[in-house]
Structure 1
Amino acid sequence: MLRGCDLMTWDANEGKRLYGRVIPAEPPMRHTVIREPIGVIAAFTPWNFPMSSPSRKVRGALAAGCSIILKAAEETPAGAVMLAQAYHDAKLPDGVLNLVFGDPGMISSYLIASQVVRAVTFTGSTPVGKHLAGLTAQHMKPAILELGGHAPVIVCDDVDPDSAALACVKGKLNNAGQICVAPTRIFVHRKDYDKFVEAFARYGANTGGACAGAEQRYRTCRK
């Protein structure tokens, strides 16, 4: 939360520097870029970072002069609710920040098709991102997608297996493994395989932390 507050201040100050620019051109042409708010943003955030993800969407939109409709995750709603309450307490005008919960498919289809919404931003899984990209394309609206991936790790034979195992544990178990860049496959040179496995098990014991729920634990362990 403290990091989100710091970055909120950073975005607010960067918003003051959304300058236009003049692009060199051959006379008599003149090329000028003017940055203007695009309009209402529909933002969709995941459950694994319940405060930082909504905060990042909201502060960027507000700094650019845009209103935002935030669809946060039902699995971890408290962070987004507290964020909206903080903006309300700070006297943000009504209607600038709007928070909704409900059926993701129904809400995304409704918001993306709405003439009020001018752009879409989404953080989440690749399959859902592909679906939303298709919806935005149907309505010719820009979309910013931050999607999950499969992050392989390759441990070569010229590295210290103990140090490599520690780095992999930190990457894999960060946020209890509930993070899109957590390694999903680890390839270890056969020469160091046994040492790596022993070190990984030793460093990884009791460092996983709590998952957001049973479904998230299943997804994390399945990876």
Structure 2
Amino acid sequence: MTWDANEGKRLYGRVIPAEPPMRHTVIREPIGVIAAFTPWNFPMSSPSRKVRGALAAGCSIILKAAEETPAGAVMLAQAYHDAKLPDGVLNLVFGDPGMISSYLIASQVVRAVTFTGSTPVGKHLAGLTAQHMKPAILELGGHAPVIVCDDVDPDSAALACVKGKLNNAGQICVAPTRIFVHRKDYDKFVEAFARYGANTGGACAGAEQRYRTCRK
């Protein structure tokens, strides 16, 4: 938050060399109201990143937080309210994602869109923003491979992979989706991975997400 606040002070303009009598300057101005959509897997940090970036740029924001994990966004909004943020600068909404996203993106009030979430939903929102010629910043799901070479300790590699895979109970976009292990160490790696993984886990955001995580 401190970095974003100070970055707002560093949004300098530019004077570009030009032949007289022409003068070329770049002036940075707030784009306007931002519509932000955040996921459930980081219920505090994701909304915080969206809000503080918008405020540092001088923009008000409408935050559509995840209905599965609403408390984090509510607490964040309360903190800004307690800090005397003017009314209407940060607006928090919950509800049907499809209805809200369609309404906000089509609204003439909203000037830009930012979304963190799955790739399929990101593609859908990209299509909506394109229809209305609005800029969109999309942070979408990952598809991360791991390569385990034959010059590493398979036990240590397995522990590192378990930590990466099950960080945040596996509910994270950078979690490994596939692991390539050198055939020399394959059996040792699989045994160690199963051993470490059996004792690692955490709470999932509902039965549906647990099913998706276990399928991976």
Return the TM-score normalized by structure 2.
0.96
Structure 1 gaps of 5+ residues are 1-7
Equivalent residues in 2 for 1:1-223, closer than 5 Å = 8-25=1-18, 29-223=22-216
1:189/1:116 Cα in 2 relative to 1: closer, same or farther (>3 Å)? same
1:201/1:28 Cα in 2 relative to 1: closer, same or farther (>3 Å)? farther
Shift of 1:28: 5.4
1:26/1:151 Cα in 2 relative to 1: closer, same or farther (>3 Å)? farther
RMSD over equivalenced CA pairs, Å: 1.3
Q: Secondary structure at the residue paired with 1:185?
A: strand
C-alpha distance in 1, partners of 2:16/2:153?
50
Shift of 1:27: 5.5
Shift of 1:26: 5.4
User: Residue by residue, what CA displacement relative to the aligned partner does 1:24-66 show, whole Å, maximum 9, x if unpaired?
Assistant: 4556554322111000000000000000000000000001100
C-alpha distance in 2, partners of 1:26/1:156?
58
Single out whichever of 50-59 and 180-189 deviates more from structure 2: 180-189
1:85/1:24 Cα in 2 relative to 1: closer, same or farther (>3 Å)? same
C-alpha distance in 1, partners of 2:155/2:24?
56
Single out whichever of 123-132 and 197-206 deviates more from structure 2: 197-206
Q: Secondary structure at the residue paired with 1:48?
A: coil
Q: Secondary structure at the residue paired with 2:134?
A: coil
Q: Secondary structure at the residue paired with 1:152?
A: strand
Structure 1 runs (4+) deviating above 6 angstroms are none
1:37/1:194 Cα in 2 relative to 1: closer, same or farther (>3 Å)? same
1:28/1:160 Cα in 2 relative to 1: closer, same or farther (>3 Å)? farther
Q: Secondary structure at the residue paired with 2:18?
A: coil
